[in-house]
Amino acid sequence: MAALNDPIPAGRDDWWRHAVVYQVYVRSFADSDGDGVGDLPGITSRLPHLAGLGVDALWITPFYTSPQHDHGYDVADYRDVDPLFGQLSDADDLVARAHELGLRVVVDLVPNHTSDEHEWFKAALAAGPGSPERARYLFRDSEDGNPPNNWESVFGGPAWTQVEDGQWYLHLFDSTQPDLDWRNPEVPAMFEDVLRFWLDRGVDGFRVDVAHGLFKEASLRDQVVEEGKRASSGQVNTDHSMVSLDLKDEPMWDQPEVHDVYRAWHRVLDEAGPDKMAVAEAWTQTAESMAAFVRPDELDQAFNFAWLLADWSAEAFARVITDTLAAVEPVGASPTWVLSNHDVVRHVTRYGGGEQGLARARAATLTMLALPGSSYIYQGEELGLEQVDVAPEDRQDPAYLRTGEAGRDGCRVPIPWSGAQAPYGFGPGTTQPWIPQPAEWATLTVEAQSADPSSTLSFYRDALRLRRDFAWSAGEDVELLDLGADVLAFRRGPLTAVLNCGDAPVALPEGEVLLASGPVDGKLPSDTAVWLR
Ligand code: GLC
Ligand code: MG
C-alpha cells in the first residue's frame, strides 16, 4: 500500500519503523449518531483530518462488544463491534477508507483479561470450583477468608474478588476484568484466532494491551513489599501520572513465559503478510526488559514510557535517548517515543500547564519527532489540549470509582472540532458528549486552529510535513552534542535538534532553522526547540 505522499521507501514493508502513529480514543474522537459517544463512522468521517495532519497510521482503542466498565478494555466478544460504536461493516469501511488515504490501521488487543460478561467468565461462574471452565481464569481458594495473596489492583484495592461459592478470582485491574490463565492452552488458541479474524479484515497491526501481564509467577506468591510501602501492582500509580522507577518485586508482571506467546504471534502476523506489526504496551521496569519484547522473532515495537516519564531536564531526556537506543539496537528494533496517551495526564499539563506548559509540550514534541523510530501521538495533543478537571459527578474511570483519586477522565474529554460552544462539532446537533467539554475550548477547535498559522495544530502539520523528508533517510544514529547542561542537542543525519530546558536563552549552533516550536529571535529562548539543517 503506497499513497501519494507515503514517505516509506519502495520495497520496505516495515512501515512502522519510522512512522507517526495517531492514537484515537474511540469514545472521544467523533460521534456520528448523536448519542454523545464517539463511534467508528465518526472516526471514518474524520480520517481526512488525520491524513491532512500528516500521520502514517492510526491506532484505535478497543471498540469490541463490552459493558464499558473500563471503556472497552473489558471485552465481552473479541470478534464483534459494540453497538455503541457501530457494527462490523463500519470497521471494514473504516479500514478501507483509511487505506485509500494512505493511513495504516492498528487495532487494540486486550489479552490479559476479559470482561466478566465474556461467555467464558459466565461459564466459569456457572460451572463451579475445579471445572475446566474456571481453569481459563485464575480462581483460587483461601483458607483464612482473606484474598489468596497480597496483590493490589492497578486501579486500587485488592486484586481479588470472592464469588458466592467462596472461591476468589484474580483481576489486576477492575473486578469486572478477570485475568485469564495463559498457562491454559485454550487461551493462546483463542487469541491466535482473534488475531487472524482482524488480519482477515485488513488491519495492519495490533497494539497489545498490558503485554507484560499475561503470565503471573505460577505460585501466585505474595509480592515482597518494602517496609512502609503498600503492595501494588506497579504500572501507573493511581494518579496515573508516574511509575516509581525503583526496581520492585513484581511476581505479577513480566514473566519469561510471556515471550513464547509473542513468538507465536510473530508467526501469525508473518503468515498474514510482511507488513503486519504489533506494538506492546509493556510497563516494564528497565529499557532492557522493554527490549526483550521486540526481539526479532517477537513483537515489532514497545511503547517507550521512559520518555513520557522523564522530568523537564536536558539531562533526563538525554539519558532516556541514550538508554533507549542502547537497548533496542542489539535486537534491531526501532525505538518509539510517546508523550501522552489515554492513561496519563496530558503533557501540556504535566509540564505545568498554561503558556509555559504549552511551550514545553511543543518543544518536547518537536524534539521527539526528530528522533529515529516511531512517535505515538494522542488525539488532542495536536490542539495543545490540557488535562481537564472533570467534575466528580462526571467521572467514569474505574480507577476513580475504586479509589476516589482523580483518575484518567481528564485526558479523555471529547475533541473540539468546530463552532463556538460545546459539543464543538464532536457530534451532530447539540447533544452534549459523555464527558462535558470546557468553555475555554472554543478557541482550540480544529476549525479555529486551522485558520491560524501560529496555532499548535499548524505547528504539528508543519512538523509532520517536514519530518516526512528525513524520517527514513536521516538514519538511526543519534549524536548527542554538548551545548551546556540545560540544553539537549543532537545531530541525526543532516538534521540538528536543539531543546532549551533552562531558564535563559542560549546561542544557536550554525545552520538554517527549519522549524521552531515557538518564537526564535537569534537566540533559542527557554522552553523552546528548533530543527536546524
Ligand atoms: C491498559 C490500558 C488502560 C486499561 C488497562 C486495562 O493499561 O491502556 O486504559 O485500563 O490496560 O486493560
Ligand atoms: Mg455515537
Residue-wise pLDDT tens digits, 242-260:
344 468 899 999 999 999 9
Strand order in the sheet with 301-302: 301-302, 277-280, 205-208, 104-109, 57-60, 20-24, 374-378, 336-338
pLDDT classification of 226: cutoffs 50, 70, 90: confident
Residue 199, domain member (yes or no): yes
Q: Give the distance (Å) from ligand 1 centre to CA of residue 85.
A: 19
**Mean pLDDT of the 511-519 span:** 97
Q: How far, in Å, from the CA of 435 to the mean position of ligand 2?
A: 13
Residue nearest to atom 6 of ligand 1 (CA): 73
Is the pLDDT assigned to residue 229 strictly greater than 70?
A: no
Residue whose cell numbers read 467462596: 166
Whether residues 163 and 126 fall in one domain: yes
Q: How far is the CA of 446 from the centre of ligand 1 (A)?
A: 28
Does residue 519 carry a pLDDT above 80? Answer: yes
pLDDT tens digits along 341-358 = 999 999 999 999 999 999
Nearest CA to ligand 1 atom 5: 73
**DSSP annotation of 372:** S
**Nearest ligand to the C-alpha of residue 32?**
2
160-162: strand order across its sheet:
139-140, 168-170, 160-162
- End of a domain among 467, 487, 515? 467
Domain assignment of residue 272, yes or no? yes
Q: Which residues are annotated as catalytic?
A: 209, 271
Same structural domain for residues 375 and 491? no
Residue 96 shares a structural domain with residue 202? yes
The residue whose CA is least distant from atom 3 of ligand 1 is 343
Which ranges of 275-412 does DSSP label H, i.e. alpha helix?
287-292, 305-309, 314-328, 347-350, 354-370, 398-403
Domain closes at, from 447, 467, 487 = 467
Q: In this structure, are 255 and 371 located in the same domain? A: yes
Whether 358 and 484 map to the same domain: the answer is: no
Ligand 1 pocket, mutate which of 209, 212, 338, 403 (most atoms under 8 A from CB)? 209
- Ligand 1 binding pocket, CB closer than 6 Å: 70, 73, 110, 173, 209-210, 281, 342-343
Supply the pLDDT for residue 238.
32
CATH number of the domain enclosing 143: 3.90.400.10
Q: Whose atoms come closest to the Cα of 338: which ligand?
A: 1
Same domain (yes/no): 144, 268: no
96 is written with which cell numbers?
Answer: 478501507
Of 73, 87, 109, 105, nearest to 32 by C-alpha is: 87
List 104's β-bridge partners, or say none: 57
**CA 215 / ligand 1 centre spacing (Å):** 16
Per-residue pLDDT averaged across 90-109, rounded?
Answer: 98
**Among the three residues 445, 467, 489, which one is the final residue of a domain in this structure?**
467
Residue 162 lies in a domain: yes
412 and 521 both lie in a single domain: no
Q: Is residue 41 part of a domain?
A: yes
What CATH number is attached to the domain comprising 491? 2.60.40.1180
Q: Which of 120, 279, 308 is nearest to 203 (CA)?
A: 279
Q: Is 462 contained in some domain?
A: yes
What b/e string do you get for 279-306 counting C-beta neighbours within 10 Å, with b at 16 or more? bbbbbbbebebbbbbbbeebbbbbbbbb
Q: Evaluate whether residue 130 is within a structural domain.
A: yes
> Which residue among 208, 210, 240, 408 has the greatest number of ligand 1 atoms within 8 angstroms of its CB, and so is best to mutate?
210
Question: Are residues 522 and 487 part of one domain?
Answer: yes
* Structural domains counted in the chain: 3
Nearest ligand to the C-alpha atom of residue 397: 1
User: Is 333 part of any domain?
Assistant: yes
Domain, as residue range, for 520: 479-532
**80 within domain boundaries:** yes
State mean pLDDT over 213-222: 98
Whole-prediction pTM: 0.96
Pocket test for ligand 1, best of 64, 153, 173, 241 (most atoms within 8 A of CB): 173
Q: Residue 3: is its pLDDT beyond 80?
A: no
Residue (of 375, 427, 377, 449) closest to 27 by Cα position? 427
Same domain flag for 55 and 142: no
Same domain, 387 and 285: yes
Whether residues 440 and 332 fall in one domain: yes
Give pLDDT tens digits for 250-294: 999 999 999 999 999 999 999 999 999 999 999 998 888 999 999
Q: Are residues 235 and 147 in the same domain?
A: no
Encode pLDDT of 467-510 as tens digits.
Answer: 999 999 999 999 999 999 999 999 999 999 999 999 999 999 99
**What pLDDT is attached to residue 5?**
55
